[in-house]
Amino acid sequence: DPDLDLVATALGARYVLSGIIEANVSGLAVTLELSDASTNEVIWGDRLGAPLDAIDDLRNRIVARLVTALDVYIPLNEARSAQMAAIETLDAWTSYHLGLQHLYRFTTTDNQRAKGLFERAVMLDPHFARAHAGLSFTSFLEAFLHLGPDVKEAARAARHHAERGLELDSLDPFANFTMGRSQWLTHDLDAAAEWLDRATTLNPNYAQGFYSSAMTSMLIGNLAATEVQLDTALQLSPLDPLLYGMHGVRSQMFIQSGDYAAAARWGDRAAATPGAHYLIAMVAMVANGLAERHETAARWRQKVRQSKPNASAAHYFAAFPTCDIASKTLIAYELRRHGF
């Protein structure tokens, strides 16, 4: 086993990534571990194997798993450590990661907490591009989920903060991602697709980038691209914080294709996934209604009313401005039938 203290001290690193390669006559097995050197705690591990004639494929799988692990488990660990500290003691890096944890809870209260933590990160380090991108994300959620009183101002702020992040680091995938998502708010889907494609070009293992590209493709009506991008996102990050959204896009994809039974199954799965908000419950309600699963649709309608009493068809189509007229007409009918 590696001496984490020695490695971390020599490299000046907080985290250490290590691995063991085992070879036998049938192939290779690789054990991977990501450790927090300050506590000697393993925060993520995985084991992959492949026959000898598939070494290149094994390399690609290792890279994909590692990139996802670094994106997911370091922020989780940073946030867990930060939760025990007073806010005024947090540095910019830790404030940013704690902000992400609140961001992905998708509530008004947590979004405000995330916003405050990103603002602290920017105050401590004005050139921290990802903190500006984080502010863009919080403003996006204010507009997308109608969490605040002024949707137009929130949409403007989402664009402004994304632009500032890009000014500081035009090659940061998260900054490009938030710029693409800000284009959703003005229904400029072609521009959104370009920015999101740039994000996944900069980081070919960016699961949330592929998910957002899938949603954009679905809204445009390119279902073949939607399916490929969703599959890629799920393969890269099967437990992603935006997993509910991935399932929700697949449900909407099946609504467009007319497979309402599949749409209902994926809608149920999306709305039952942690982090799912009222718009996802509306997707599940519509899908179940189209599949003539009326009792299930009624349960999701009740969930929507509990989560967002003033939810409306206007909220749905502002968030999901689908270009497919046939499915849009059916969705509008289901929303009216359920009182939205």
Digit-coded pLDDT (tens) for 93-102? 899 999 998 9
Neighbours of 89 (CB within 10 A): 8
Percent of the residues in the chain that have a pLDDT greater than 70, as a whole number? 99
pTM score of the predicted model? 0.85
pLDDT attached to residue 82: 76
CA 310, CA 316: separation in Å to the nearest integer?
A: 12
Domain with CATH 1.25.40.10 in the chain: 85-203, 205-340
Neighbours of 310 (CB within 10 A): 7
pLDDT attached to residue 18: 87
pLDDT attached to residue 338: 97
Listed residue (88, 67, 86, 80) closest to 38, CA to CA: 80
CA 239, CA 248: separation in Å to the nearest integer?
A: 15
Residue 2 has pLDDT above 80, yes or no: no
**15-19, 88-92, 210-214, range with greatest mean pLDDT:** 210-214
Neighbours of 315 (CB within 10 A): 21
Domain with CATH 3.40.50.10610 in the chain: 4-67
Residue 295 has pLDDT above 70, yes or no: yes
Query: Hey, what amino acid is at 208?
Result: Q
Mean pLDDT within 235-256: 94
Contact 288, 253 (CB under 8 A): no
The tokens of 235 are what?
């393969």
Residue 173 has pLDDT above 70, yes or no: yes
Domain 85-203 is classified in which CATH homologous superfamily?
Tetratricopeptide repeat domain (1.25.40.10)
For every residue of 187-208, DSSP letters joined together read T-HHHHHHHHHHHHHH-TT-HH
Mean pLDDT within 253-270: 98
Contact 257, 277 (CB under 8 A): no
CA 21, CA 125: separation in Å to the nearest integer?
A: 40
CATH fold label, 4-67: Rossmann fold (3.40.50)
**Quick one: CA torsion of 331, 158, 108, 115, rounded to 10 degrees?**
160
Listed residue (269, 252, 264, 175) closest to 214, CA to CA: 252
Contact 118, 112 (CB under 8 A): no
Mean pLDDT within 145-165: 96
pLDDT in tens, 105-133: 999 999 999 999 999 999 999 999 999 99
CATH fold label, 205-340: 1.25.40
CA 305, CA 72: separation in Å to the nearest integer?
A: 32
Pairing of strands 41-51, 15-24: unpaired
What is the b/e burial string over 12-48, where b = at least 16 CB atoms within 10 angstroms of the residue's CB? Answer: eeebbeebeeeeeeeebebebbbbbbeeeeebbebeb
pLDDT attached to residue 39: 84
Mean pLDDT within 259-268: 98
* 41-51 β-sheet, strand order: 15-24, 27-36, 41-51
